[in-house]
């Protein structure tokens, strides 16, 4: 489970890095390649939503358990 989440975070960071590269690299006309940058950012948002849904589903199915401080009354 930890490996899947770590790979998802790496995909999110990789997509963000590729968007940065596309933003800094110029096209033939001297303007940035915004079309590829937008696709990379959309992919990052998709990965983030997919990771969030995966964590919610895995919690509901009992694959992961919450940890932390116990609630004291």
Q: Is residue 23 part of a domain?
A: yes
- CA angle 32-38-39, nearest 5°? 120
Residue-level pLDDT at 33: 67
Q: Is residue 73 part of a domain?
A: no
Q: Is residue 67 part of a domain?
A: no
Provide CB contacts within 8 A for 25, sequence distance 6+: 32, 33
Range of the domain at 40: 2-60
Q: Is residue 71 part of a domain?
A: no
- What the block records as the tokens of 31 is 């303007």
Q: Is residue 66 part of a domain?
A: no
Task: Give the tens place of pLDDT for each residue, 19-51.
Answer: 888 888 766 676 666 788 888 889 999 999 999
Q: Which helix (H) or strand (E) holds 51?
A: helix 34-60
Q: Is residue 47 part of a domain?
A: yes
Supply the DSSP symbol for 26.
B
Of 12-16, 18-22, 36-40, 63-67, which one has max mean pLDDT?
Answer: 12-16
* 37 and 19 Cβ atoms separated by less than 8 Å: yes
Total of domains in the chain = 1
């Amino acid at each position: 489970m930890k490996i899947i989440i770590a790979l998802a975070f790496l995909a999110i960071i990789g997509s963000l890095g590729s968007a940065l590269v596309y933003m800094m690299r110029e096209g033939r006309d001297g303007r940035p390649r915004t079309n590829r940058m937008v696709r990379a950012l959309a992919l990052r948002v998709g990965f983030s939503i997919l990771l969030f849904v995966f964590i919610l589903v895995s919690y509901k199915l009992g694959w992961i358990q919450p940890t932390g401080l116990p609630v004291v009354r």
